[in-house]
């Protein structure tokens, strides 16, 4: 399938736990941790994907998972698909207990690889 001008083929998806009810600042920090960690992993393991994603404008999509159980299931699917991924846990210095898993980053990767795993999740 040919892309039309302006369409993007790669993205990085960050899935946040909806059950934690993090403040906006905490959520932004955790999403940033996931994005940086995944980008570095992709640059090391999937250099072509990273380069294409970067060239396209570094598209990021933030989605919601019900809870830690759903996040773990998504991580397992991403790992089986050999997609760059990173589970993020909070240090516990502010509003969450130490080592609380907050979000999962997957990608950057082709949309066609990500959508079967994350396409049914709601936007955050």
The predicted-structure confidence for 60-93, as pLDDT tens digits, reads as follows 999 999 999 999 999 999 999 999 999 999 999 9
Tell me, yes or no, if the pTM score tops 0.85.
Answer: yes
The structure tokens 């210095």 sit at: 93
Give the closest residue to 62 by CA, choosing from 38, 89, 95.
Answer: 38
Domains and CATH numbers, the chain: 10-117 (3.40.1490.10)
Would you state the pLDDT for residue 5?
54
99-115: per-residue pLDDT in tens? 999 999 999 999 999 99
11-67: per-residue pLDDT in tens? 999 999 999 999 999 999 999 999 999 999 999 999 999 999 999 999 999 999 999
**What's the CA gap between 111 and 77, in Å, rounded?**
15
């Amino acid at each position: 399938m040919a892309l039309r001008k302006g369409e993007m083929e790669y993205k990085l998806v960050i899935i946040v736990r909806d059950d934690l009810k993090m403040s906006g600042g905490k959520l932004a920090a955790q999403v940033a941790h996931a994005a940086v960690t995944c980008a570095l992993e992709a640059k090391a393991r999937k250099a072509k994907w990273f380069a294409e994603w970067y060239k396209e404008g570094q598209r990021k999509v933030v989605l919601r998972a019900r809870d830690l159980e759903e996040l773990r299931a998504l991580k397992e699917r991403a790992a089986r698909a050999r997609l760059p991924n990173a589970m993020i846990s909070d240090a516990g210095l502010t509003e969450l207990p130490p080592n609380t898993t907050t979000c999962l980053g997957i990608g950057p990767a082709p949309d066609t690889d990500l959508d079967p795993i994350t396409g049914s999740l709601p936007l955050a």
